[in-house]
Structures are given as structure tokens and as C-alpha cells.
């Protein structure tokens, strides 16, 4: 499956999936750099390109047409996952690329949103947060404090 989320060029065709190392929060990935509101990962894990695209679509569906919404995605799915078709015998090399994943470490900001009103930004990130396979938290830049919002 080829999507617009795969890298244009890679050094090797197929890689080992590997494991996500559990490390402390990195300061560079922890801070807001562009947007006012963001989504932070609380546990390490993998995120597929399909899940990223669903999150992006969910946020664009919530916005109004008048708003100049800006989304920054801070993770790139650059690790190919291979699979062989069912019914194929063992051997004969590694399978073809099925999808792409991104490794996420705990504390990383994966998405930031700007130019949206406070309630709408919270709603958009709340809906996209449900699609993640790992627990996450909505955070707000300290320079832009919104009033408390109930989502239910």
C-alpha cells in the first residue's frame, strides 16, 4: 500500500521493526514550537501512517471554513513493515512492504494545531486522540491559556 505518508527515498528497502526504547522526556520534543495546542504521547509505541492520516482528517473536519487552520505533524512514519501473503511457504526472502510506522517515545509532541478557537481545537484533538493506540494528553502553550472546556 503506497500512501503520501511514506518517505520519498530510504537508505535500505526493508528494515527490522525493532522496539521502542523507554526513555525520559526529551526537552526538544516536549516543548511547543509552532502551535498553541498540542497532543503529547504518554507511553512509547508505534503509530501507523493510516492512523496519522485519520487524525489529520478528523482535525480538518472539525474546523470551520473561515478559519486559517494550521497543523504541524511532528512524527514521520519512516519504518517499513513487511508481510508475506497467506499460504506462502517459508523461505524465499522477506516479504513486500505492507505499511509504514513511526516510533514514538514517551513525552513526544506528535501534533500541534494553531489558528483555531480554544473549544474547537480541544474538540478536534480530543476526537483525534481516540484514534491513537497509546495514551495521550492534550496540552496548551502557556502563552495561550484557554478556559476550562467540558467535552461531554
- Whether 115 maps to a domain, the answer reads yes
Task: Give the pLDDT score at 69.
Answer: 77
- Whether 98 maps to a domain, the answer reads yes
- Whether 109 maps to a domain, the answer reads yes
CATH of the domain at 48: 3.90.1170.10
Task: Give the pLDDT score at 65.
Answer: 67
Q: Where are the alpha helices (DSSP H) in the chain?
A: 27-30, 49-62, 118-129
Q: Give the pTM.
A: 0.74
Q: Mean pLDDT per segment of 10 residues, for the chain of length 152 residues? A: 67 72 54 73 88 87 74 86 89 88 86 79 87 88 59 57
- Whether 113 maps to a domain, the answer reads yes
Task: Give the pLDDT score at 45.
Answer: 86
Whole-angstrom distance, CA of residue 74 vs CA of residue 135: 17
Specify whether the CB–CB gap between 39 and 93 falls below 8 A.
no
Name the residue range of residue 79's domain: 27-140
Angle at CA 12, nearest 5°, toward 49 and 23? 60
Task: Give the pLDDT score at 2.
Answer: 47
- Whether 67 maps to a domain, the answer reads yes
Specify whether the CB–CB gap between 47 and 132 falls below 8 A.
yes
Task: Give the pLDDT score at 1.
Answer: 45
Whole-angstrom distance, CA of residue 109 vs CA of residue 106: 9
Look at the chain and report how many structural domains it folds into.
1
- Whether 19 maps to a domain, the answer reads no
Amino acid at each position: 500500500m503506497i500512501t503520501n505518508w511514506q518517505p520519498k527515498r530510504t537508505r535500505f528497502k526493508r528494515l527490522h521493526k525493532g522496539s521502542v526504547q523507554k526513555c525520559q522526556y526529551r526537552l526538544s520534543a516536549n516543548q511547543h514550537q509552532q502551535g498553541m495546542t498540542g497532543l503529547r504521547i504518554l507511553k512509547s509505541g508505534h503509530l501507523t501512517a493510516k492512523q496519522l492520516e485519520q487524525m489529520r482528517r478528523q482535525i480538518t473536519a472539525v474546523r470551520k471554513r473561515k478559519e486559517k487552520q494550521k497543523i504541524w505533524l511532528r512524527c514521520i512514519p519512516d519504518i517499513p513493515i513487511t508481510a508475506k501473503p497467506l499460504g506462502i511457504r517459508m523461505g524465499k526472502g522477506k516479504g513486500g512492504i505492507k505499511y509504514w510506522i513511526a516510533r514514538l517515545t514517551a513525552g513526544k509532541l506528535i501534533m500541534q494545531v494553531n489558528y483555531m478557537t480554544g473549544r474547537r481545537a480541544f474538540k478536534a484533538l480530543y476526537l483525534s486522540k481516540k484514534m491513537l493506540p497509546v495514551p495521550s494528553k492534550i496540552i496548551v502553550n502557556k502563552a495561550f491559556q484557554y478556559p476550562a472546556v467540558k467535552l461531554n
